[in-house]
């Protein structure tokens, strides 16, 4: 599916229950037009991973996900040889014709494709999500560069495999470390921040069935003011969603001081933050 404007992207994403702001929609639009990967960066729980999933939904493409972690290597990201199968092939060869065996066992039949190669080889266009790329070591980033700039993978025994269809690539980062210039240069950059109260209200309405408009608005506003405090960890969108669900489960109709005090632990995960928010809320209502 091709979008003819960023506005069309907004409509499609909204239809898939992902509420984008204008910048998000514009970058998704450009990613498709320019065939460029997108590097999505921002705090935890603001919808980075979810964006790639929503784009897969609206484009009807399968989602292939590479979850990054410290120690990820090319055998887990790109491909590895199926040693067991290779061994069986060697054992079953009665003629010991080594030339023919080695030719055989380094063919595609003996290759185990990992997410990056899988995305390149897919006969239908996919969305490739390289999630939490900042968790891999900077040296390991090199293994992504060929895919990101040329949409190809080189396998010494087989040669270069080119993508038959153009994948849409999303990389996400929580910014735990600086990414290399080489990687950044290949991508469109998208920073996602906490939504404004209006968009968060819409997100809540889309994600929490049964939530009243009034409560959605209150939750979004309280979340916004709590984020304004100097906290160890500000509440993310996923936490405001959890909080809205909690209020719904407790049949709360209005967020007052008591409700807030009783449920702040759903929104905040550090005792010092909970105490700070409780204090702030009480003093501001008394003022």
| Contacts to ligand ATP by CB under 6 A | 17-20, 44-50, 172, 174, 203, 206-207, 237-238, 241
From residue 72, alpha-carbon distances to 76, 107, 121, 128, 202 in Å are 6, 24, 21, 17, 37
In the list 14, 49, 57, 149, the residue contacting Mg ion (rule: CB under 5 A) is 49
Burial class of 201 by CB neighbour count within 10 A (0 to 12, 13 to 18, 19+): buried
Rounded Cα–Cα distance for residues 129 and 31 (Å): 13
Give min distance, CB of 19 to ligand ATP, in A: 4
When CB distances are held under 5 to 8 angstroms depending on the partner's kind, the choice from ligand ATP, Mg ion, none that residue 115 binds is none
Which range binds Mg ion by CB under 5 A, 47-55, 66-74, 148-156, 208-216? Answer: 47-55
Could you tell me the smallest distance in angstroms from the CB atom of residue 148 to ligand ATP? 20
User: What does the alpha-carbon distance between residue 210 and residue 21 come to, in Å, rounded to a whole number?
Assistant: 24
217 makes contact, choosing from Mg ion, ligand ATP, none, with CB < 5 to 8 Å by partner type, with: none
Nearer to ligand ATP, 161 or 237 (CB): 237
Look at residue 273 and give the partner it binds from ligand ATP, Mg ion, none, a contact being a CB closer than 5 to 8 Å depending on partner kind: none
| Minimum gap (Å) between residue 14 Cβ and ligand ATP | 9
CA distance linking residue 152 with residue 160, whole number of Å = 7
Is the separation of the CB atoms in 57 and 129 below 8 Å?
Answer: no
Which among 12-20, 48-56, 205-213, 228-236 is the span making contact with Mg ion, rule CB under 5 A?
A: 48-56
* Token pair of 44 as six digits: 């935890």
Cα–Cα distance for residue pair 180/138, rounded to 1 Å: 7
| Binding at 126: pick from ligand ATP, Mg ion, none (beta carbon under 5-8 Å per type) | none
């Amino acid at each position: 599916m091709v979008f003819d404007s960023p506005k069309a992207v907004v409509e499609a994403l909204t239809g898939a229950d992902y509420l984008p702001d204008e910048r998000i929609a514009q970058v998704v639009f450009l990613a498709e037009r320019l065939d460029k990967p997108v590097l999505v960066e921002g705090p935890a729980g603001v919808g980075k991973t979810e964006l790639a999933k929503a784009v897969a939904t609206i484009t009807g493409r399968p989602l292939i996900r590479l979850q990054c972690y410290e120690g990820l290597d090319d055998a887990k990201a790109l491909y590895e040889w199926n040693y067991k199968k290779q061994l069986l092939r060697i054992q079953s060869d009665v003629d010991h014709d080594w030339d023919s065996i080695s030719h055989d066992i380094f063919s595609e039949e003996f290759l185990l494709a990992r997410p990056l190669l899988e995305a390149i080889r897919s006969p239908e266009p996919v969305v490739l999500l390289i999630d939490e790329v900042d968790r891999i070591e900077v040296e390991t980033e090199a293994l992504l560069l060929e895919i990101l700039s040329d949409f190809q993978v080189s396998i010494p025994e087989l040669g270069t495999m080119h993508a038959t269809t153009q994948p849409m690539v999303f990389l996400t980062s929580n910014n735990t470390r600086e990414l290399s210039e080489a990687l950044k240069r290949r991508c469109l950059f998208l920073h996602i921040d906490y939504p404004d109260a209006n968009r968060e209200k819409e997100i809540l309405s889309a994600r929490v069935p049964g939530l009243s408009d009034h409560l959605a608005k209150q939750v979004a506003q309280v979340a916004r003011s709590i984020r304004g405090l100097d906290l160890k960890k500000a509440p993310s969108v996923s936490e405001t969603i959890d909080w809205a669900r909690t209020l719904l489960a407790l049949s709360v109709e209005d967020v007052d001081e008591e409700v807030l005090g009783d449920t702040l632990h759903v929104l905040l995960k550090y005792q010092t933050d909970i105490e700070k928010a409780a204090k702030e809320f009480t003093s501001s209502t008394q003022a």
